[in-house]
Protein backbone atom coordinates (compact mmCIF):
# COMPACT_ATOMS: atom_id res chain seq x y z
CA UNK A 1 0.00 0.00 0.00
CA UNK A 2 2.86 2.34 0.77
CA UNK A 3 4.23 1.88 -2.76
CA UNK A 4 0.91 2.94 -4.27
CA UNK A 5 0.80 6.08 -2.12
CA UNK A 6 4.36 6.92 -3.14
CA UNK A 7 3.52 6.42 -6.79
CA UNK A 8 0.40 8.60 -6.53
CA UNK A 9 2.43 11.34 -4.81
CA UNK A 10 5.04 11.19 -7.58
CA UNK A 11 2.37 11.43 -10.28
CA UNK A 12 0.71 14.38 -8.52
CA UNK A 13 4.07 16.15 -8.21
CA UNK A 14 4.80 15.48 -11.89
CA UNK A 15 1.36 16.81 -12.81
CA UNK A 16 1.93 20.07 -10.93
CA UNK A 17 5.40 20.50 -12.46
CA UNK A 18 4.09 19.78 -15.95
CA UNK A 19 1.19 22.20 -15.49
CA UNK A 20 3.60 24.97 -14.41
CA UNK A 21 5.87 24.29 -17.40
CA UNK A 22 2.89 24.37 -19.76
CA UNK A 23 1.68 27.69 -18.33
CA UNK A 24 5.15 29.18 -18.79
CA UNK A 25 5.27 27.93 -22.39
CA UNK A 26 1.84 29.43 -23.12
CA UNK A 27 2.88 32.79 -21.67
CA UNK A 28 6.06 32.74 -23.76
CA UNK A 29 4.04 31.86 -26.87
CA UNK A 30 1.67 34.77 -26.19
CA UNK A 31 4.64 37.14 -25.78
CA UNK A 32 6.23 35.94 -29.03
CA UNK A 33 2.93 36.24 -30.95
CA UNK A 34 2.49 39.77 -29.64
CA UNK A 35 6.01 40.66 -30.77
CA UNK A 36 5.40 39.08 -34.19
CA UNK A 37 2.20 41.05 -34.66
CA UNK A 38 3.99 44.26 -33.70
CA UNK A 39 6.83 43.59 -36.15
CA UNK A 40 4.41 42.74 -38.97
CA UNK A 41 2.41 45.93 -38.47
CA UNK A 42 5.59 48.02 -38.33
CA UNK A 43 6.75 46.38 -41.56
CA UNK A 44 3.45 47.20 -43.27
CA UNK A 45 3.65 50.84 -42.18
CA UNK A 46 7.05 51.14 -43.87
CA UNK A 47 5.51 50.32 -47.25
CA UNK A 48 3.46 52.69 -49.38
CA UNK A 49 1.05 51.23 -51.94
CA UNK A 50 0.46 53.37 -55.01
CA UNK A 51 -2.19 52.44 -57.56
CA UNK A 52 -2.57 53.71 -61.11
CA UNK A 53 1.09 54.31 -61.90
CA UNK A 54 2.83 53.43 -65.18
CA UNK A 55 4.33 49.94 -65.46
CA UNK A 56 7.58 51.16 -67.01
CA UNK A 57 10.07 52.13 -64.27
CA UNK A 58 11.64 54.88 -66.42
CA UNK A 59 8.30 56.70 -66.65
CA UNK A 60 7.85 56.49 -62.91
CA UNK A 61 11.30 57.87 -62.18
CA UNK A 62 10.79 60.83 -64.50
CA UNK A 63 7.62 61.70 -62.59
CA UNK A 64 9.14 61.21 -59.14
CA UNK A 65 12.00 63.71 -59.19
CA UNK A 66 14.90 62.99 -56.86
CA UNK A 67 13.18 60.19 -55.01
CA UNK A 68 15.28 57.15 -54.30
CA UNK A 69 13.04 54.12 -54.35
CA UNK A 70 13.51 50.51 -54.99
CA UNK A 71 10.76 48.52 -56.57
CA UNK A 72 9.44 45.52 -54.81
CA UNK A 73 6.49 43.68 -56.20
CA UNK A 74 4.42 41.66 -53.86
CA UNK A 75 1.75 39.13 -54.71
CA UNK A 76 -1.36 40.16 -52.83
CA UNK A 77 -4.90 38.98 -52.62
CA UNK A 78 -6.03 42.57 -53.22
CA UNK A 79 -7.14 43.65 -56.63
CA UNK A 80 -8.95 41.60 -59.19
CA UNK A 81 -9.17 37.91 -58.28
CA UNK A 82 -7.63 35.49 -60.74
CA UNK A 83 -5.74 38.09 -62.76
CA UNK A 84 -2.40 37.52 -61.07
CA UNK A 85 -1.73 41.26 -61.10
CA UNK A 86 0.78 42.51 -58.60
CA UNK A 87 0.60 45.66 -56.55
CA UNK A 88 3.69 47.87 -56.69
CA UNK A 89 5.11 48.52 -53.25
CA UNK A 90 7.64 51.26 -52.63
CA UNK A 91 9.82 50.43 -49.67
CA UNK A 92 11.75 53.26 -48.07
Last residue of some domain: 45, 64, 81?
A: 45
Q: What's the predicted TM-score (pTM) here?
A: 0.45
- E strands of 1-92, at which residues? 47-49, 70-74, 87-91
What are the tens digits of pLDDT across the range 6-16? 999 999 999 99
End-to-end alpha carbon distance in the chain: 73
What are the tens digits of pLDDT across the range 32-88? 999 999 988 888 877 766 666 667 667 666 666 544 444 444 444 455 555 656 555
Question: Average pLDDT in the 14-21 region?
Answer: 95
Q: Which domain holds residue 3?
A: 1-45
Same domain, 85 and 70: yes
Q: Which 3 state secondary structure label does DSSP give 66?
A: coil
Count: domains in the chain:
2
Amino acid sequence: MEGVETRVAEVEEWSVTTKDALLLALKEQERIMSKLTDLETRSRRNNLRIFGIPKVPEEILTNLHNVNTRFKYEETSWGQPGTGKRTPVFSY
